[in-house]
Amino acid sequence: MASIPFSALFLSIILQMALLWSIGSSQKTGFTSIDCGSDSDYTEIQWVPDNKLMSEGTSVVLPDTSIDLVLSTMRLFNGSQSKYCYSLSNSAVTAGAFFLVRASIYPGKNPPYTPKNPDGYFHFRMLIDADMWGDVKILSGDGIWWAYDAYVRAKHSKIDVCFARITPDGDAPFVSGLTLRPLPDTLTSTALMTEKNCFLVCLGHKNYGVPLSGPSWIRFPNDTLDRYWISHEVPDSKLTSTQEAIDRTADSLDQLPERIFQTSLTGSRDFTLNWSTLGNDSVHYVVFRFSEIDPLVNTSGMRVFSIFANGVLLTTEGPIDVFARVGANAAYSFGKTVTLDAGSNITFTFTSLVSSTFPAFVAAAEVFELREIGALSPPSISNWSFWSK
């Protein structure tokens, strides 16, 4: 059985890859992109400095070379306040509207100060509108850009994103960039937020079955909502790909990029996907994306499989047969809430039925942690699932 690990505490992208901060020559209504620690704007990539938005903290220019402009500066909150907040607002921010909030954090290869903890990590806390977003733990000098995403629902005409020390004498927080992206209220994820009165911490948008030649990720403009789909690259023996157009009618509510459905991870009859360090005592929601792009699969029953999470059957409504449900070259999704094992891990096992001619496969996956609005403790949320029609 093949095992494919993915540590999904937060998205991380190694900077040695060509970092694509630019979001194109045009920008959608409701997009806000803030370069923290900068005092100049550069409209060609539509980022604005935070010098008129944040009077606290210190603007720091990192000595690193060959990094993107946005990551070349940070706002270091080295004062005595308990927390420091940005108020994000634009014409789209109204009470009840949904948004993707992203904090980009890069300590630099030569950080401006050293961690106070002997473990060599910077530790600080992030909050959204006073709700606990997460604790940051970043190794000093690791040269990695960390992108922390959350789906939130505006309570007013602004969204407060705050950074705080974990203890009074703890590490001073810092941030390189903040972005705000509007989300439709018709998404499966935003519908879940409404039903369960929660916000979602995004633990990863994973694009499986990408060839070794890349791309390293997919984002705006291919994804109109600017989600980051991080690639899991595999050799040709585990890859199925197509240039054919994908019918996304069944998944139209989630506005998914076509490219994530044009490749699939297809390995042995059974394989596992491991998502680790997700946090204790939390409820999570996973969505798997599929498209039957192998031309040899041309009738129902040829590729049928079940999915388990930590040994518990997720596909309780019946095994998945993508061709039977939507036909060839068409998008199909399956989502459900899951629980964690004692080690804060989720192991998803894809198991082909004995009668299945072709092995199990997957095109992409998303994992979210559900957080109760207005509370620091995880919610008690009953199982929630959907099948795309």
pLDDT band at residue 279 under the 50/70/90 scheme: low
Q: Which of 120-129, 152-161, 274-283, 349-358 has the lowest mean pLDDT?
A: 274-283
The pLDDT score that the predictor gives to residue 66 is: 62
In a domain, 14, yes or no: no
Residue 359 has pLDDT above 70, yes or no: yes
The pLDDT score that the predictor gives to residue 141 is: 86
Residue 139 has pLDDT above 90, yes or no: yes
Q: Are residues 249 and 365 in the same domain?
A: yes
Handedness of CA 39, 78, 80, 168 (dihedral sign): positive
Identify the three-state secondary structure at position 64. coil
Supply φ then ψ for residue 345, to 5 degrees.
Answer: -120, 155
The pLDDT score that the predictor gives to residue 301 is: 97
The chain-wide mean pLDDT, for the chain, equals 84
Residue span of the structural domain in which 113 resides: 31-183
Residue 82 has pLDDT above 70, yes or no: yes
Q: Are residues 157 and 226 in the same domain?
A: no
Residue 43 has pLDDT above 80, yes or no: no
Q: Are residues 126 and 207 in the same domain?
A: no
9 C-beta neighbours (distance < 10 Å), count: 19
Question: What is the Cα–Cα distance from 304 to 286, expressed in whole angstroms?
Answer: 20
Q: Are residues 165 and 233 in the same domain?
A: no
Average pLDDT over residues 309-337: 95
List the CATH number of the domain containing 214: 2.60.120
Residue 229 has pLDDT above 50, yes or no: yes
134 C-beta neighbours (distance < 10 Å), count: 19
The domain boundary residue, chosen from 183, 213, 240: 183
In a domain, 21, yes or no: no
> In the structure encoding, which two tokens stand for residue 234, read together?
């595999």
Question: What is the Cα–Cα distance from 183 to 186, expressed in whole angstroms?
Answer: 9
Q: pLDDT by residue (tens digit) across 177-199?
A: 999 999 999 999 999 999 999 99
List the CATH number of the domain containing 172: 2.60.120.430
Residue 313 has pLDDT above 50, yes or no: yes
Q: Which helix (H) or strand (E) segment is 192 a member of?
A: helix 188-196
